[in-house]
Structure formats: C-alpha cells, structure tokens
Chain A
Amino acid sequence: MKKIYAKPEYCMACRLCEIACFVKHSKSKKIIKAFREERGEFQARIIVEQSGPVSFALQCRHCEDAGCIEACLTGAMTRNPDGAVVCDENKCVGCWSCIMVCPYGVINHDRRRKKIAAKCDLCPDKNTPACVEACPNEALVYE
C-alpha cells in the first residue's frame, strides 16, 4: 500500500501541506473562500510538528495494528480494500474513542456537520494526495 512519508531533513515548516489539506477537505475547494468561510470549523488532517530546526508533517500512518479501528464503537473506522484506514462519516457518532487511542494524535474533530472524526483519507479522488502535491521541497513523498 502506498503511504505518505515525511523527510524531516527537507521539511522547512512552511505548512503549505496543512493549507492544501484544509482546502482539499473544504466545501468550496477554493483556497480564499475556504479560509474565509470555514476556518475554525475544522482542521487540516496533517500537522507539522516542529521543535527547533527539526520539523516534519504528520498524518495518519494507516497502522497495520490500528487502535482506532478496534476502539471504534460503531464500526465507522474500517480498513478499506486498499489498506487505508478510513472513517465512514455516516456511521461516526463522535465518541472520540479513536482520538484517545491514536498514538500519533492525527485524528481530530470536524464540527461542520455533526461530530465527525476526521483523519487523513489519502485523498482517494486524487492520484497524489494534496499535501504531497503542495510540498514545495519534496519533503513529503507518496510511495
């Protein structure tokens, strides 16, 4: 299965990946409109972790032994045939069990509709995830 990998040696913490992820998962998919109208309602599903000069972008690792799938009360969190861990937003009730067990802290609330656990979905409708496409320094690779 293809995953997104971060290269901390080339990550410059510009956070363009976060912006691209936010826009990709927004309603309008238009950067200015999305930021104007939806900022604060939900977060990007990728986070740039930074400590001093070291930084890298982190998103769902689609763990083989995914705690979030086990912890999910309603069976919303499942592994799709490609191997990616995805959240069925129709089944999710917002109990936040997945958020508690995720060792990477990469699942967050989406407050737009009802309570939804939002996480990296590897942009299923794109060949390359939006964050990887947006990285100006190839510090994110999809392979």
Chain B
Amino acid sequence: MRHKQNLVEFKIIRDRERCIQCEVCARQCAFEAHIFDADAREMESVDALCAGCQRCVSLCPTRALTVIKNPQEFRPDSYWTKNVLQGIYKQADTGGVLLSGMGTDKIYKSYWDRILLDASQVTNPSIDPLREPMELRTYLGAKPEKIELRSVGKTRKPRLAVKLAPQLRLETPIMFSAMSYGAISYNTITALARAAAKSGTFWNTGEGGFPKALYEYAPHTIVQVASGRFGVHSGYLNAASAVEIKIGQGAKPGIGGHLPGEKVSRLISETRMIPEGSDAISPAPHHDIYSIEDLAQLIGALKEATRYEKPISVKIAAVHNAAAIASGIVRAGADIVAIDGFRGGTGAAPTRIRDNVGIPIELALASVDERLRKEGIRHRASIVAGGGIRNSADVVKAIALGADAVYIATSALVAVGCHMCQKCYTGKCNWGIATQNDYLVKRLNPDIASERLSNLLKAWSREIKEMLGGMGIDAIESLRGNRLRLRAVDMTDTEMTILGIKPAGESL
C-alpha cells in the first residue's frame, strides 16, 4: 500500500477507565470507526474512519468517548492551510472531484451577524406579545395591484371586486425548504410533513416526488418540478398546495443533481417514476428553459395543469444577477420567488462549487426586493429567502430586508439530530437522516422528530413575536421590507447601500 499523505481529520479519545465494552459505539457507527477486539476484550477505534458525527459520543452510556479535531498540523502556513493541502493530497490519491454535504463551512462575512434590530423606547410603545395579539400569519402569492370594492344587496355590504390570486396561508413565516426523498430518508420527510401540518406551514418535496402515503399532508405540501422531472404527474401537481419550479440551489448554483442507483429503492423508484436501482440524474439546466420566455411557458403550463388554483413558485440560487433574473421570473408569471443563498445546504455538491459559487442571501434578498419595488412589481410575487437561516433573529432580519417568509432546511435537520459532519453523500448518515440504508433509517423516529420540528417552529415564532413587540410592531406584515428598523455594524458603505440600511448610530 502506498503511503498516504493525508492527516486524519478527527481523533477519538476513549477513556479506558469509563469504557465498559458495551459495544454501543461499534453498533452505532456506520463508518466502522469502532470495533470490538474479542481477544483483548477491549474496544478499539480507528481515527481515520471517523466522520466526526458525534453519534457514538452522544449514545455512549458512560460518556467515555470524546471526538475532537485532530490537533496534528502540517507546517504552519496561513496561505497553504491544512484544508488546502488535504484537498490536494486527496485529489492526488484519487483523481476525483472533491465532494461535500451541507452548506459551505468557509469563513465568509455573515451579514446577519452585522445587522442589529431596533426597539421602541419612550416615544413609541413596545408591545408585550403575551398580553396583546401578535400576528405572524403570512399569505404567499400574487397580491392585487389595488383593492376595489363593490356594494352588495340592500344593506350595500362592501365586497372585494378583484379576484385574488391563489395564496398559501402560513401561520408562521417559516417553511421547510426542498429536500428530496432519496437525499433524505422516508422517516425524515414524514417528520417534516407532520410538523408542517401541525404548525400550519409547508414542507417541500424537493425533486424526489411525493410518496402516496404522505398525501394526507398534501394541504401543507409544496411539490417541486425540477430539471429531472422526477415523479411529476398530474396527480402530483394537483395534490399539493403549490408547485415550485427549481432552477437552482444555493449550495450548488449551476449544477444538477445525482442520486446514485444504490439509493433508488422500490419505494423511491415508484415515487420518482424511474427504474429501481437506476441513477437519478437531474441535469444542470431545464432543457426546455433557455430564457425567461421559456420559463413563462412552463409556469403557464403548470398553472393550466392545476386549473389556476395553486400558486407557482420559482426557486433560484442567489447569483450575481439575481435581481434581474427575479424581475424576469415575476414577469413570467410566478407567484412566489424563492432565493437560496450560497450558505444553503445540500446532500452532495462538489466542494469547490459549494465553497465558491453564489452570493450571500442577505445581499441577494435586499437587491431583489429593491429591484422589484423599483419596477413596481413587488406585489405580483412573494419573496421567500433561504440558505443559512440559523435562528429567529435571522428570520426577522430577512423579513425586514424584504422577504415574505423564509425557508429553513439545515436548521430543521439539526433539530432532528444532524450534527453537520458533511458526509451526507456517503449514504451512511449515522443519525438516520441522509441515508436509505435499512439499518440506519430506523434511527430517526418520526414521532420524536416531528415533535422536535414543531417545537423549533414554536420557539422561533415566540421569539419573533418578542422581537416584533420590542419594535412596537404587532403584525409581521408591518415589518416586511422595513429596513429602517435595521442598522449595520462593521460593514462598508457599498454593502450598506446594497442592503439599504443605515450604519448603527445614525438616526432616522
């Protein structure tokens, strides 16, 4: 065997005093980093196989395990860092493209962390959400340009004269973004669907199709039409509450998808309508969309297929020209524009794409909202922002920057157990999330997971209400695009101009 130059990423430290050789760690590690040496009656660990997912650490009944980053370094170099060298060594070994799961872990400026919220003091009263009503309900879809009323009957009751476009009703402005059945397990999508139904929001099937057994959650489901067109049929489109055309994904703009054949089980093959065991390849572009006019045709076709009863969303990755593209999408007839920032996660992406393509959601969102307002077409579509929303403060900031609602996925997976080891693409997810392995999928109990997801949404909603109350606002609608309630720290003038916010310390 040739000598390997790579350093192992993690170090497994086993406290021999505490280890009782119960083998729980060995049974839980799909990467086989723990083995029981029957002769020595001792547990052994192989650092090189460890993915750092912390499954063993969290299940060890005696807390005998610690998994840490391997402190061994190459010769210190601030340019040719350990990561850089490891990448080169790995590619020299294999000749392959480096793969990663989840969102980029590189150090890029986080604008969320440089935006501060306002609060009321003396001259305008703040509101206590525990004592006064606070409205988080959000409707997604095209809004009428103006309201016309007509009077009806003898009492001349006013009635709306304009016909409203179809709307999605959200009880909290947070939805679960697209993750396909195939990329994640059946139990995980079941948990997402149940939690969405319980919390009055929506989950998104991704391009993995919509398993028949989950049709009971259809009133809380957004289905996706992506470049592979997997699982798309008229029943699928009509079952859902909205249809989303997926153009791009924040983690890998301009890149298609590939679900390896070994993951295409019988149920996945039925759901995706492809042969069992065959690779599911989503091309990078939609081969029938090469222009905004082509997109308009697909939007029109989907509206026709759903009898104009369902809002159509178009999801794009946040790229340099997002504002102009979003304008085209709205003009093409979309009811919702979903923008996915470069921190968005994925089941598998080439590492270099994940880490280097796209722009931060904060900047894309602000510029899209600004552009649509300037063009006078902001009311024709709702904006949904996603890609790296970590907590309720990020949600509030996104809405103040112009989003109607946000999409969360990484946060949702973390809520059900994900420890961000970035090994989704191996199909060996020890937490039972990103896997189709019969041994592993059972580890995610949808009863527990859906409760945890509902709890997360409940907690964030409460916090959002607190923040709104602090600003003296009693409805989330009044915050939308209200950038005057935001202030910037540690940003350049240009960044503040793009975000449309003032520096901290500057009054109205």
Contact = CB atoms under 8 A, between A and B. Distances in A.
Contact of A14 (B20, B59, B440, B448): B59
B467 to A, nearest CB: 34
Contacts of B447: 138
A57 to B, nearest CB: 13
B375 to A, nearest CB: 52
Interface string A118-136: 0000000000000000101
A9 B445 CA distance: 9
B61 interface: yes
B22 A35 contact: yes
A113 interface: no
Nearest to A139: B445
A52 B437 CA distance: 12
Contacts of A136: 59
B24 A14 contact: yes
Nearest to A13: B27
A35 B24 CA distance: 14
Contacts of B443: 12, 137
B20 A16 contact: no
A14 B27 contact: yes
Interface string A1-33: 000000001111111100110000000000110
A137 B445 contact: yes
B22 A138 contact: no
Interface in B404-433: 432
Given A31-B20, A36-B20, A137-B448, A12 B62 contact: no
B442 A10 contact: yes
Nearest to A18: B22
A90 to B, nearest CB: 31
Interface string B54-81: 0000010110000000000000000000
- Which residue, of B20, B21, B439, has the highest number of chain A Cβ atoms within 10 A? B20
A56 to B, nearest CB: 10
Nearest to A141: B447
A16 B442 contact: no
Q: Which of B24, B432, B438 has the most CB of A within 10 A?
A: B24
B398 to A, nearest CB: 34
A137 B451 CA distance: 13
Interface of B is mostly: loop
B445 A10 contact: yes
Contacts of B27: 12-15
A57 B78 CA distance: 53
Interface string B1-28: 0000000000000000110111110011
A140 B23 CA distance: 20
Nearest to B22: A19
A81 interface: no
A11 B24 contact: no
Nearest to B441: A53
Among A9, A12, A13, A20, max chain B CB count under 10 A is at A12
A11 B442 contact: yes
Contacts of A32: 17-18, 20, 62
Contacts of A16: 24, 59, 61
B132 to A, nearest CB: 38
A137 B78 CA distance: 44
A53 B448 CA distance: 21
Contacts of B18: 32
A31 B61 contact: yes
B442 A19 contact: no
A12 B439 contact: yes
B186 to A, nearest CB: 11
The 8 closest A-B pairs by CB, nearest first: A53-B438, A35-B20, A10-B445, A53-B439, A12-B443, A137-B445, A12-B442, A14-B24
Interface of A: 9-16, 19-20, 31-32, 35-36, 39, 52-53, 134, 136-139
Given A11-B442, A52-B438, A138-B448, 7 more contacts: A12-B28, A20-B61, A32-B20, A39-B20, A53-B439, A136-B59, A137-B442
8 contacts: A10-B442, A12-B432, A14-B28, A15-B24, A16-B61, A19-B20, A19-B22, A19-B24
